[in-house]
């Protein structure tokens, strides 16, 4: 049963099977810039992982996804973003890759689903550091936006009050955040149903037209769950 409270969706649902299907990732490209030295490719997102190859300075790379790891200072400043490249397969520091953007340009890398939300045992009557109520869908979505996307998101992001989930599509439009009906990994799924609406994090986009969601306060009150739903059943997608 779904629970309604400050951002929960008022509806009855049953848990769907978690499908680990293919991800429709929007790969990006970048160019390595190390001022002459080959860039090490590692097996994971950090300098503690073994080197599995290298990329020559000036070479173009295909970035399948991006994640957070060891903070590196390189040609393009200091960054904790690591790019998963296709050849040689592995991870390189984004601080040495020109992508044309200071932000992320490819979907987040997701290998496992886990409830790493830091306030899972706290009272839902307390506010989180981003000024949402803890263990609500909006608080968990804010956590994923900050942690996975590297966006400094709060309840007043870009001078706009975001409030309950039912207001997030309007708030996003006011804040210049893209709102559409296209499912992508890292997007926030948003519904205007019920009194408060609902938001969830898109963890996977499957080849059969379904998506895998991570969320709080949906299948049980103030708890974590995952669901597989039809991508077309989502009201809006917010792309930070």
Residue 9 tokens, joined: 């969706």
Residue 7 has pLDDT above 50, yes or no: no
3 state SS of 145: helix
* Mean pLDDT across the chain: 88
Helices (H), the chain: 137-149, 168-175
> What homologous superfamily is domain 1-25+112-240 in, according to CATH?
endopeptidase domain like (from Nostoc punctiforme) (3.90.1720.10)
Identify the band that residue 103 occupies on the pLDDT scale cut at 50, 70 and 90: confident
- CATH code for 28-98? 2.30.30.40
Stated pTM of the model: 0.71
Same fold, 1-25+112-240 and 28-98: no
What tens digit of pLDDT does each residue of 46-89 get? 898 999 999 999 999 999 999 888 999 999 999 889 999 999 99
3 state SS of 179: strand
Residue 108 tokens, joined: 């987040």
Residue 18 has pLDDT above 60, yes or no: no
Q: How many CB atoms are closer than 10 A to CB 84?
A: 22
Sequence spans of domains, the chain? 1-25+112-240, 28-98
Task: State residue 55's pLDDT score.
Answer: 97
> Strand pairing of 28-32 and 224-230?
unpaired
- For residues 133 and 139, the answer to whether their CB atoms sit within 8 Å is yes
Cα–Cα dist 45/115, whole Å: 20
CA angle, 89 then 211 then 131, to 5°: 95
Q: Which of 140, 119, 121 is nearest to 202 (CA)?
A: 140
Cβ-based burial of 151 (10 A; exposed 0-12, middle 13-18, buried ≥19): middle
Measured in whole angstroms, the distance separating CA 114 from the mean position of its chain's CA atoms is 13
């Amino acid at each position: 049963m779904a629970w309604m409270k400050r951002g929960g969706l008022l509806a009855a649902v049953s848990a769907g099977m978690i499908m680990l299907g293919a991800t429709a990732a929007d790969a990006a490209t970048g160019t390595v810039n190390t001022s002459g030295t080959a860039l090490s490719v590692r097996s994971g997102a950090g300098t503690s992982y073994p080197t599995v190859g290298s990329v020559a300075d000036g070479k173009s790379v295909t970035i399948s996804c991006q994640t957070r790891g060891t903070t590196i200072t390189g040609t393009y400043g200091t960054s904790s973003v690591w790019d998963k490249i296709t050849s040689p397969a592995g991870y390189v520091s984004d601080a040495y890759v020109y992508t044309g953007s200071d932000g992320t340009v490819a979907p987040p890398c997701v290998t496992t689903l886990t409830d790493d939300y830091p306030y899972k045992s706290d009272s839902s009557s307390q506010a989180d550091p981003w000024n949402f109520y803890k263990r609500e869908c909006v608080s968990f979505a804010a956590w994923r936006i900050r942690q996975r996307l590297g966006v400094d998101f709060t309840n007043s992001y870009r001078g706009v009050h975001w409030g309950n989930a039912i207001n997030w599509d309007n708030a996003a439009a006011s804040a210049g955040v893209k709102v559409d009906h296209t499912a992508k990994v890292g997007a926030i799924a948003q519904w205007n149903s019920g009194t408060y609406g609902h938001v969830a994090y898109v963890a996977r986009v499957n080849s059969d037209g379904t998506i895998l969601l991570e969320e709080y306060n949906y299948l049980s009150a103030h708890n974590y769950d995952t669901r597989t739903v039809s991508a077309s059943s989502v009201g809006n997608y917010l792309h930070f």
